[in-house]
Amino acid sequence: MLQLTSKTTATAPSLTKQEEARGRVAALNAQFRHFGTSYFLEAVLTRGIFDRIAMVSSFGADSAVLLHLIAQIDRSVPVLFIDTALLFPETLRYQQELSAHLGLSNVQTIRAAPRTVQAYDPYGALRFSDPDACCTLRKTTVLNAALVGYDAWITGRKRHQAKTREGLHYFDLDDGTARIKINPLIDWKPSRIAAHLDTHDLPRHPLVAQGYPSIGCAPCTSPVTADEDSRAGRWRGMEKIECGLHTTPVTKGAPT
């Protein structure tokens, strides 16, 4: 089997481009560090700071908040939704319901080509032998290909979600590229998220009420208890804590 990485291009950006991007990230964080979320999003989406920008959404537990905020500014912003073919049926239904509710006009469902999945994971068992490679096959490589041509993308990451996210800023650099990630909700706590959902009567993901505060693929997501962090149910019992969209995993078996 081919050696798999989470990169989709044959060559990484030059060190100079990455250094320039790091400098730009630092400058943007300094410029926007005191902005409120709505004002921040309005600036990012309407002031020409980036040439092409997309949002990447899992349509998970908290996704309605950020999607709602963006819809108030521009409902035509590209929203990339990764269908891994292992998602909960509830997530697929919720994606349709929430998109319609918010009037989103440019939701793009992206997925690995069936022949690629057949080549690298014909029995659907890669998640057992190499979960990092499974995420690379079904998510990371798919997203990297979809983001070609974009210079920035918006995420829903928050500082409270896990210890690995406590140091998040509004902007950071996409791993191994010169593309910038934007994190508008870094300081939103669960109480603020719940209040926004209630105030705007936004549809909830049905699994939240069943104890799933963070929702990924069905085989790798379990409910959490009140004393656990919100991502404790992701890859339970493994050292793995991220799918690879925000950190590059060491893999043995995912496509380039």
Q: What is the pTM of this model?
A: 0.86
C-alpha to C-alpha distance for 199 and 147, rounded to whole angstroms: 33
Catalytic residues: 243
C-alpha to C-alpha distance for 242 and 131, rounded to whole angstroms: 10
**One-letter amino acid for residue 114 of the chain:** P
Residue 171: predicted pLDDT: 95
Q: Is the pLDDT of residue 3 over 70?
A: no
Residue 18: predicted pLDDT: 85
DSSP E strands: which ranges in the chain? 53-56, 79-82, 107-110, 152-154, 171-173, 180-182
* Cβ-count burial 222-235 (b if 16+ within 10 Å, e if not): eebeeeeebbbbbb
**Residue 181's beta-bridge partner residues?**
153, 172
Q: Is the pLDDT of residue 21 over 60?
A: yes
Residue 1: predicted pLDDT: 36
Q: Is the pLDDT of residue 241 over 50?
A: yes
Residue 235: predicted pLDDT: 80
Q: Is the pLDDT of residue 69 over 70?
A: yes
**Percent of the chain whose predicted confidence (pLDDT) is above 70:** 86
pLDDT band at 150, cuts 50/70/90?
very high
Residue 207: predicted pLDDT: 96
7 compared with 192, residue with greater pLDDT: 192
Residue ranges per domain, the chain? Answer: 15-220
Structure token digits, residue 96? 């349709």
Homologous superfamily of 15-220 in CATH? HUPs (3.40.50.620)
